[in-house]
Amino acid sequence: MNFSVSSLPGLVILVICLLGAFGFAWLVAVLLRRYLPESSRSDATYIAGKYMTAFGSLFAFLTGFLINSEYATLKSAQSYVGQEVAAATQLASASATLPPPDADRIQDQMVVYLTSLPGAEWSSLSNKKPEDSPSGQYLSDLQQQVYTLSERKYPSTAALSSMAGGIEEMTQARRQRLVIGSSSLPPPLLLLCLVAGAALIVNALVTVVKAGTKYSLMATGLILLVALDTGAILAITDPFQGPFRAKSAPIEKLVQEIQDGRYKPWVNGR
* pLDDT beyond 80 at 4: no
- The pLDDT of 247-269, averaged and rounded, is 87
- The pLDDT of 227-245, averaged and rounded, is 89
Cα distances (Å, whole numbers) of residue 17 to 23, 156, 227, 268:
10, 59, 5, 54
pLDDT of residue 34: 80
Length, in residues, of the chain: 270
* pLDDT beyond 50 at 118: yes
pLDDT of residue 211: 60
pLDDT of residue 8: 84
* pLDDT beyond 70 at 131: yes
* pLDDT beyond 70 at 177: yes
Please, which residues have CB within 8 angstroms of residue 88's CB and are 6 or more apart in sequence? 110, 114, 166, 170, 254
pLDDT of residue 1: 38
pLDDT of residue 38: 64
- The pLDDT of 1-5, averaged and rounded, is 56
pLDDT of residue 203: 85
User: Mean pLDDT of all residues in the chain?
Assistant: 86
Residues of the chain above pLDDT 70, percent: 90
- The pLDDT of 206-211, averaged and rounded, is 71
Range ranked top by mean pLDDT from 45-54, 121-130, 156-165: 156-165
pLDDT of residue 2: 44
